[in-house]
Amino acid sequence: MNARATERPQDELLVSVVTHTVPEPVLSQVLAALCADGAPARDVVVLYTGAPESPAARTLDALCERHGVKVIGTPRAMRIGEARQFLVERSAPYRFVAFLDDDCVPLPGWTQAAYEACADPLPTALFFGPRHPAPTSGVGPLVRTLETRTSRKLALAARPGAPDKVVDPKALCAGGNIIVSVPAARELGLTGPVFARTAFEDVDFQLRAGRHGWTVQFLGGLQVDHYDELDVPTLLRKSWHSGKGMARCATRHTAAFWERCRWRPWRALVSWTTALACLAAATVHPWVAAGALLPVVLNTRAHTRELRGVPLRDKAAYLLVKPVRDLVIGLGFVTHYAADRTTARTLPATAPNRTPLDDLGRVGTARTR
């Protein structure tokens, strides 16, 4: 263990690596990076959200034993938002809990930035930092990597003379690299039933925290490398959930959400509708079919930043998959937006302090290694 670990204050920050599938070797890299960066083993846990008796759970036991950290298992398989709340409710005496995804490897200085955040005098509910795409193979990771070229988080970190922190940033957090205040998480709730089987629940917490008087901060030093290994079918499935999550956030936070969000899900729907309308009209006026190329041209121009300097083969793959991904996001958005506009009027303005986790009949397991 790095000698700097002994200098860290006790009971200040609990660092949690959340995993459902125990990916190797990336999860081991995450734990090794935390250790090398000075995170005390006593303050690092792996939060396992899969089935308690699965083979992955046994693999995780052996892995954590090698790194000298504890495993905390949920009493049943849980989605990630539920699992985060589960840990927060059992995080005493810590004041803050950091959540890292199992494919987000902290860069040197992450631990120092995290402890400095905990000492910040502002009443901050959420700290988040940039996730840099790490080199991986496959079309799914390629699409997500090129998308980060327009990431507002990475733009904040890359600005010349950028400050170490930005209060109330015009960017959306990514839940795979965040630190939450335990009092704020218990007051507001990190998630709710409306975000079951969807995404953007971390963004919802970010926006609710700001609305209720808490501060949100972006920290440039809280950096991780993101080893994204999604195949295309998984990417499209997650895209549908992203569209649903955007609809949830758009109906609950309106302008506060859109001024921080770089996505405009309706644009893809307009492009696809125009192209299909032109093709349908070609049976009457064949020359109208040429109009179907207009969305393709506009889509290519819209992604100029992402495609600059990219090899032709990667450009082709991106331009084939990206429009489909945007379409799926758009369909997920519009499918749920109208219904959410109706139900949002009947929902309380704030998330209740009581969550579905309070109704669990048994607590999670803790396996110290």
| Residue closest to 246 by CA, chosen among 147, 304, 326 | 326
Q: What is the mean pLDDT of each run of 10 residues along the chain (369 residues)?
A: 54 93 91 95 94 86 92 92 93 94 96 95 96 91 93 86 87 95 95 86 95 95 93 95 94 93 88 82 74 70 85 91 92 87 56 39 40
pLDDT at 345: 55
pLDDT recorded at residue 344? 55
Residue 14 CA to residue 21 CA, distance in Å, equals 22
Give yes or no for a contact between 268 and 326, defined as CB atoms under 8 angstroms apart: yes
Q: Model confidence over 90-140: pLDDT tens digits?
A: 998 999 999 999 999 999 999 999 999 999 999 999 999 999 999 888 999
Dihedral angle sign, alpha carbons of residues 195, 200, 202, 207:
negative
Question: What phi and psi values does residue 167 have, to the nearest 5 degrees?
Answer: -85, 135
C-beta separation of 161 from 140 below 8 A = no
Rounded Cα gap, residues 76 and 184, in angstroms: 25
For residue 224, give the nearest of 154, 149, 161 by alpha carbon.
154
Residue 360: what pLDDT? Answer: 35
- Give the max Cα distance, the chain: 77
* Alpha-carbon distances, residue 206 vs 72, 125, 310, 313 (angstroms): 25, 8, 34, 38
* Residue-level length of the chain: 369
* Radius of gyration, CA atoms only, the chain: 22
pLDDT in the model for residue 54:
84
How far is Cα 217 from Cα 138, in angstroms, rounded to an integer?
A: 33
* The pLDDT value given to residue 367: 47
Closest CA relative to residue 337, chosen from 236, 233, 258, 234: 258
pLDDT of residue 272: 84
* Exposure on the CB side of residue 101, measured as CA atoms within 13 A: 20
Q: Which amino acid is at 325?
A: R
Cβ neighbours of residue 363 under 8 Å, at least 6 residues apart? 75, 90
Confidence (pLDDT) at 239: 95
**Angle 92-201-222 from CA coordinates, rounded to 5°:** 65
- Which tens digits make up the pLDDT trace of 235-288? 999 999 999 999 999 999 999 999 999 989 988 888 888 888 888 877 777 777
Task: Quote the tokens at residue 222.
Answer: 């809280």
Which tokens sit at 335?
């499918």
CB atoms within 10 A of CB 244: 24
Q: How far is CA 242 from CA 89, 147, 266, 361, in A?
A: 26, 14, 13, 31
